[in-house]
């Protein structure tokens, strides 16, 4: 993605909220779940001054403190990681400084208490010209979550702002950056499925395999309680946890695995006909079919037969010795 092409409307609502708090001399906790665009927003503030200027004017400077680097340093080396008092004083002489602390919730570690104590002392020396944007994955508001940040903890919970999904305009721009040849109808469908969630848009636009998309949705499911509504995620979880299944016009009392469903669909397209073992294996596994043993295939068919018991309408999966299998409705 080219930073040169970032539109002026990107993150407009959340940047307006952040700017409102910062201009009052207050700090912000920005809640951005994985893939919501939190890193992109931080880069806009630190690397695209012309966009930051829309909301903060010329009076603010931004500094990104990568929390990941804190964990890689020894306690003694932490003092050299951040700006010195003289550097902060130089900046604050002409501007107001906003320090963006990335991935703060990964730093809830007693070993970092001295660093955060020094950071708070620096804040007290230069307030209200020094404020913070703390980027977190999940909200930090409970007392026990803030203990290791010492007095800085009261700034962490001062203003909690959630990064919303992309608006329709933001999503359309984002899709255009990721893949130029999407039709308007394709973009609308992807936007509807993703609910505007940036990383899900990216996965859908890049046409991933079913396995890659499932892995992405599985990762997101850990944050479901704080995520916006993502239709494709809701559909995935509904299928994952349902006890019954439906394939075509068949209602099944048990849920099928992905490969069981693929085999059943092939048999359904040729119901009443004998379908050879080799044909099914080729259609389901493709080139990987050479690695499917006769025993593994027979076990899959056996499980499928059991799951078809009690289906509506009633079906029977017959084995035709030496030829293959036939689905009789």
Evaluate if residue 80 carries a pLDDT over 60: no
Q: How confident is the model at residue 154 (pLDDT cuts 50, 70, 90)?
A: very high
Percent of the chain with pLDDT over 90: 55
Res 69: pLDDT: 67
Distance CA 321, CA 319 (A): 6
In Å, the largest CA–CA distance within the chain is 87
Of the candidates 159, 141, 67, which has an alpha carbon nearest to the alpha carbon of residue 107? 67
Choose between 69 and 229: higher pLDDT: 229
Res 61: pLDDT: 95
Instruction: For the chain, give the mean pLDDT.
Output: 88
Q: Where are the domains of the chain?
A: 3-162, 176-241, 245-328
Compute the half-sphere exposure of residue 50: CA atoms within 13 Å on the CB side of its CA. 7
| Most confident listed range (166-175, 199-208, 209-218) | 166-175
Evaluate if residue 3 carries a pLDDT over 60: no
Q: How confident is the model at residue 103 (pLDDT cuts 50, 70, 90)?
A: confident
Contacts of 128 (CB under 8 A, 6+ apart): 25, 96
Evaluate if residue 79 carries a pLDDT over 60: no
Choose the CATH number for 245-328 among 3.40.50.150, 3.90.420.10, 1.10.10.10, 1.20.1440.120: 1.10.10.10
Evaluate if residue 230 carries a pLDDT over 60: yes
Res 197: pLDDT: 97
Q: Are 245 and 256 in contact (CB under 8 A)?
A: yes
Strand duo 245-247 + 250-252: pairing: antiparallel
Q: How confident is the model at residue 155 (pLDDT cuts 50, 70, 90)?
A: very high
Q: How confident is the model at residue 33 (pLDDT cuts 50, 70, 90)?
A: very high
Model confidence pLDDT, tens digit, residues 264-303: 999 999 888 999 999 999 999 888 888 888 888 999 999 9
| H or E segment to which residue 78 belongs | none
* Alpha-helix runs per DSSP H in 84-230: 85-94, 113-126, 143-146, 153-156, 168-178, 184-194, 198-205, 210-221
Res 46: pLDDT: 92
Evaluate if residue 68 carries a pLDDT over 70: no
Res 85: pLDDT: 79
Res 189: pLDDT: 96
Question: What mean pLDDT comes out for the span 5-19?
Answer: 93
Res 73: pLDDT: 53
Lowest mean pLDDT among 23-32, 162-171, 284-293: 284-293
Q: Are 262 and 284 in contact (CB under 8 A)?
A: yes
Which DSSP state fits 16?
Answer: H
Model confidence pLDDT, tens digit, residues 195-212: 999 999 999 998 767 888
Tokens of 284: 């389901």
Distance CA 42, CA 32 (A): 11
Question: What mean pLDDT comes out for the span 18-35?
Answer: 95
CATH fold, domain 3-162, is: Rossmann fold (3.40.50)
Res 221: pLDDT: 92
Res 240: pLDDT: 80
* Partner residues linked to 247 by β-bridges: 250
Res 67: pLDDT: 65
Strand duo 324-328 + 316-320: pairing: antiparallel
Evaluate if residue 320 carries a pLDDT over 60: yes
Distance CA 104, CA 17 (A): 20
Evaluate if residue 81 carries a pLDDT over 60: no
Tokens of 269: 């397209």
Res 245: pLDDT: 78
Q: How confident is the model at residue 246 (pLDDT cuts 50, 70, 90)?
A: confident
Compute the half-sphere exposure of residue 202: CA atoms within 13 Å on the CB side of its CA. 12
């Amino acid at each position: 993605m080219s930073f040169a092409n970032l539109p002026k409307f990107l993150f407009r609502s959340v940047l307006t909220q952040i700017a409102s708090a910062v201009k009052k001399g207050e700090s912000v906790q920005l809640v951005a779940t994985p893939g919501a665009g939190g890193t992109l927003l931080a880069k806009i503030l630190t690397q695209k001054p012309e966009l930051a200027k829309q909301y903060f004017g010329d009076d603010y400077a931004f500094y990104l403190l990568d929390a990941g680097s804190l964990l890689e340093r020894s306690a003694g080396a932490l003092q050299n990681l951040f700006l010195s008092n003289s550097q902060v004083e130089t900046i604050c002489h002409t501007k107001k400084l906003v320090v963006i602390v990335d991935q703060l919730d990964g730093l809830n570690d007693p070993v970092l208490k001295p660093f955060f104590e020094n950071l708070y002392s620096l804040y007290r020396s230069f307030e209200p010209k020094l404020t913070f944007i703390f980027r977190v994955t999940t909200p930090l508001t409970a007392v026990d979550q803030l203990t290791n940040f010492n007095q800085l903890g009261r700034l962490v919970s001062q203003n909690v702002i959630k990064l919303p999904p992309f608006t329709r305009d933001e999503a359309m721009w984002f899709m255009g950056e990721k893949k130029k040849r999407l039709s308007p109808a394709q973009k609308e469908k992807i936007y509807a499925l993703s609910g505007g969630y940036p990383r899900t848009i990216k996965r859908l636009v890049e046409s991933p395999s079913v396995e890659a998309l499932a892995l992405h949705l599985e990762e997101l499911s850990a944050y479901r309680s704080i995520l916006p509504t993502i239709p494709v995620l809701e559909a995935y979880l509904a299928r994952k946890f349902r006890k019954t299944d439906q394939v075509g016009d068949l209602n099944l009392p048990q849920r099928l695995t992905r490969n069981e469903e693929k085999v059943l669909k092939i048999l359904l397209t040729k119901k009443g006909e004998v379908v050879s073992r080799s044909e099914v294996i080729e259609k389901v596994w493709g080139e990987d079919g050479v690695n499917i043993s006769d025993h593994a295939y027979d076990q899959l068919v056996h499980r499928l037969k059991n799951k078809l018991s009690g289906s509506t309408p009633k079906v029977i999966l017959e084995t035709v010795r030496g030829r293959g299998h036939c689905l009789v409705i």
